[in-house]
Structure 1
Amino acid sequence: MRFFLRRAAFYLFTLWAAITINFFLPRFMKGDPITAYLARNQGKVSPEAIESLKILFGLEQDRPLWDQYIQYWGLLLRGDLGRSLSKGLAPVGEVILDALPWTIGLVGIATLISFFVGTSVGTYIGWKRGSRAEFVVPVATFLSTVPYFWLGLIMIAVFSTTLGWFPASHAYDKTLHPQLSWEFVSNVIYHGTLPALTIVITSLGGWILGMRNMMITVLDEDYVTVAQAKGLTPRRVVVNYAARNAVLPQLSSFALSLGFIVGGTLIMEMIFSYPGLGLRLFEATLAKDYPLMQGIFLVITLSVLVANVIADIAYAALDPRTRQEAQ
């Protein structure tokens, strides 16, 4: 209980700090959403409408920043993330909810596939160290050094432009309407294949290399030697003794990866014109859309913190030494 209380206090402080930075950082940027909006709509907005927008966004010249910060917390506690100026004054919550499923569906599934495949392959290579399977490590490591945008462009050039196997952009055909049907779901999978492969290929090397190195370290431990001396099957030694301990550092990295799923892969979503949170964040940054930027950053922060809490619980459940050190 003491371990979980200390972690809870730490995460509450981290949440407060992240929300505070989330509020002040956009306001320290050059420009503001009203100026950006007027630049896009020159001569189309009356002075009265401009003043109303300033009041709505809390950007009155005589209003101190500290007062805006207090009001921001009040709105946040009521679940009001404000309205997005770049999306026609639509509620920020609705804009985020429209984009969130696309990011979770694409980046989430790709990350899960990459983690399980990379961890499994790394476990096998670590167990069979010195075998021909080692050639996978340099190949996967090389592919992990390729930037998302570069590999994405290669994917589009080869599999979309040259071969014509997959579409180059968007999440589904514009002739379809989102609905729970096999026609629509299959079309989404078809459009998401190239961006998903881009994420899997570029992230697979890290999981393989990390698990392989940890397996080599764990295999030299005494408890693994004792398990082998008892005559246990190789499968049981690998799964119950070696892999169970070797995977612990992977869990922390996996938790962070799950957290950043919500943020999406900004460059990847831009390249494939995928309607996820990453693309929405890019658009909000260009438009100086404070409420939308803050809302997306808040969702990313919460997802990372929740993922770390889950990782702490899983780590403590798998490794009793963590709980003992916290007491």
Structure 2
Amino acid sequence: MTDKLLASDHGDLLEEIRGWAQELGFSQLGVSDINLAEHEEYLERWLAAGYQGEMQWMGDHGKKRSRPEELVPGTCRVLSLRMDYLNDGADPLTVLEDPNKAYIARYTLGRDYHKLVRKRLATLAKRIEGHLGRGQYRAFVDSAPVLERALAERAGLGWIAKNTMLINQDAGSWFFLGEIYTDLPLPVDPPQVSKHCGTCQACIDICPTNAFVGPFELDARRCISYLTIEHKGSIDPELRPLMGNRIFGCDDCQLVCPWNKFAEPTTEQDFQPRHGLDNQGLLELFSWNEETWAARTEGSALRRIGYERWLRNLAIALGNAPYSLAIVDALRQRESHPSELVQEHVRWALQRHGAE
């Protein structure tokens, strides 16, 4: 360690780092050690049960996901950071209750958070390195085998709740997480040891597809977020009617969480809705050709599912919408789509309207 670091008070340095993080738009920063043994055991049980579905990457990389020092040798601390994303768009419950509207998870209505958060983390890491003149820093945002919620819980940012989301008692759960792995031996923050869910299980009760096996345990194969985003093939016909008008992700378990009454709207302009996607009609979105879709989703996390799955998801939502000639006509125009996946879900939707 350099003389400069040895001469400094680690606590004062950490407070400086928190200030820099706030300047970059982060709402909170916590520091943890790298002991994730309890979470490693949970992950192994979850994977053994097959709850990951097609997300085979959850089991890749050996123990690197739960052992930070194996992913980045030399790591002894992890800085976990929170960036809020709740925006000022249309009321999500109002959109959900209108079967002719398309519900898109609130986190993806603005620009892709991966690039924005990663850039801010990299800036923070460089500032720390520049201040100390040394050190190892690696920033991650949903892009590597990292147990981000487990690390954030150990860093005191909140608790992993019954809906498996991280909840902060002052800010709810509408936020992104990012991490910086470092060999800098900063003092750790007190870990969150209490889970303040109590007897509440509103998140479990509201889940449209009954994806929760029990408190704190999610079977991703039934989760609408998994089905609309991660799942690449045909969606189980038994689950389709339960998906309603949700075409990309699902926020139900957050919308009913009482802790989210404390969530504050973000001031980050890049997280504000674009192209009216917070309150758009199903028919309008289904009418987009691939060029329009590419233009309207540029720089958005929506891009990750591709145009084919975009149409697949919309076809299901249109099959769940109330009958109208406009819907049937729109579906018929996609009957001969080159994708067999799209064709299958369009036929299902037409059958739902008695028009096959």
When Rg is computed on C-alpha atoms for both structures, the one with the higher figure is 1
Give the structure with the higher percent strand: 2
Give the structure with the higher percent helix: 1
TM-score band, normalised by shorter chain: under 0.3
How does the TM-score come out when normalised to structure 1?
0.20
